[in-house]
Structure 1
């Protein structure tokens, strides 16, 4: 399903906070057209790893690369220009902006400048504005929430707001989508719908998700990386990880099951 092009590679990543090692020698790769899942018990280092991938945290040692090019000083504002989008655990939606305008905030850098010019009544291209709004409405439609385009986020159910946050990440048409616990707060049915959606995205992008809902990762991921106390204890397909004794031990003997 994947291809030979390099994706987002993290090599020997180590992060310490005040003498505490959060990550130790972690390596992984999110490859084009595949879903990579990062899992582990609470405190395993998943959030720190995600923050390194997004440029929020600079590792003490190790390296990142994207498409074969090194990223020695990655910062969050660099992601859009690289073709990378992200969602965070907190939705981060603007309550005083409509759903459509919230999605437009996630557009690519040039499109964003046109959008903000529109808000400030600065000179702009009407054609470009219409194109961008059509793109945003198209993403909302893909996620089955286009009917909420003119509503405000605070008035919407949580699952709909989650989709709006995802639409904001997708509107820039990224090559890599980084998701931090996308299933949090969702019902079983909503989680199943999310899994179907994520599998459908792989025809045009790579997906890396940090998640603790095992049913979701087992059903949608091509490969898994399992962390425990900041170290990689297992990698492989969902079936391989499910049967790994180290993974079972990390989860205190609880069964790791398929969806």
Structure 2
């Protein structure tokens, strides 16, 4: 087992497969009169990994932030489980069954690794604030169960030995692992991953791909990533943005052979067949963003 691999028969698994569907339709975002996104739509189907890619400045992070509730679209619709989310806020995500990671790790420096992961598991807690304030037995039991749940998540990512450490004392790839454990411990129906492979070595990136594919039996994944080899390997569907507009959508093979995509990445009008292989290895220049 590598450091990011997910064992079979995880205790974090759901009793049933994912039933949720995220649909973003006609999304427009303007900052100070400048359009960052123009009429962008995508659907993350249950049990699928949906990749969101594009050159630097394409609008990937903006669309991801719309899905997280960090950016409110100027117009368009976000539908989750068949219900329109009119004023989606980040604080609602956990209750909606959505978990996310950010481009940075986003860990709390004053909390241990275990405590950071426990934050991700808080929606499974049963004791309320009053019980904790009064130090009632139910609060102690609740904290113990959350601690055990968080420890299992760390163990499954081979990070349990860091449980008592503080994030700032750990290498960046380990911090990324902890951030992922914090997202997975919530047992979401939809996992939003923003450039999870950044800072990882090649073998860790391969294990990350295996992990992403292993979770689709219990959740859907929206993946924003600039490492094309990872995207092409793990995604079922891909949406491609360029300059805030959607230029392609489809399976990895369809996207890889789309002339508009190769032109966006390589900068010139190119022959799709000749350059599809080159596109899968692009990792620099305009591929970031």
2:61 aligned with 1:38: no
SS at match of 1:257: helix
What is the CA–CA distance in structure 2 between the aligned matches of 1:116 and 1:178, rounded to whole Å?
32
**Matches of 1:177 and 1:102, distance apart in 2:** 18
In structure 1, the residue matched to 2:200 is 186
SS of equivalent to 1:105: helix
Can you give the 5+ residue segments of structure 1 that lack an aligned partner in the other structure? Answer: none
**Offset of 1:127 from its aligned partner?**
2.4
- Per the alignment, residue 257 of structure 2 pairs with 243
Q: Is 1:143 equivalent to 2:157 in the alignment? A: yes
Look up the SS of the partner of 2:279 in the other structure. Answer: coil
Equivalent residue pairs, number: 256
RMSD: 2.2
Aligned-pair CA distance for 1:83: 0.3
Report the TM-score when normalising by structure 1: 0.92
Indicate if the aligned counterparts of 2:157 and 2:181 stay in contact, CA closer than 8 A.
yes
SS in 2 for 1:37: strand
Instruction: Indicate how the Cα distance of structure 1 residues 8 and 123 shifts in structure 2: closer, same or farther if over 3 A, else same.
Output: same
Residue 74 of structure 2 is aligned to residue 51 of structure 1: no
Distance 1:130 1:13 in 2: 43
Question: Partner residue of 1:123?
Answer: 136
Question: Greater shift after overlay, 123-132 or 187-196?
Answer: 123-132
The whole-number CA distance in structure 1 between the counterparts of 2:188 and 2:130 is: 21
Gaps of 5+ in 2: 1-16, 269-274, 283-289
| Corresponding residue for residue 76 of structure 1 | 90
Deviations 1:195-229 (A, max 9, x none): 11111111110010111110110111111000001
State the TM-score, normalized to the length of structure 2. 0.83
Whole-Å Cα distance in 2 between the matches of residues 32 and 116 of structure 1?
37
Match of 1:195 in 2: 209
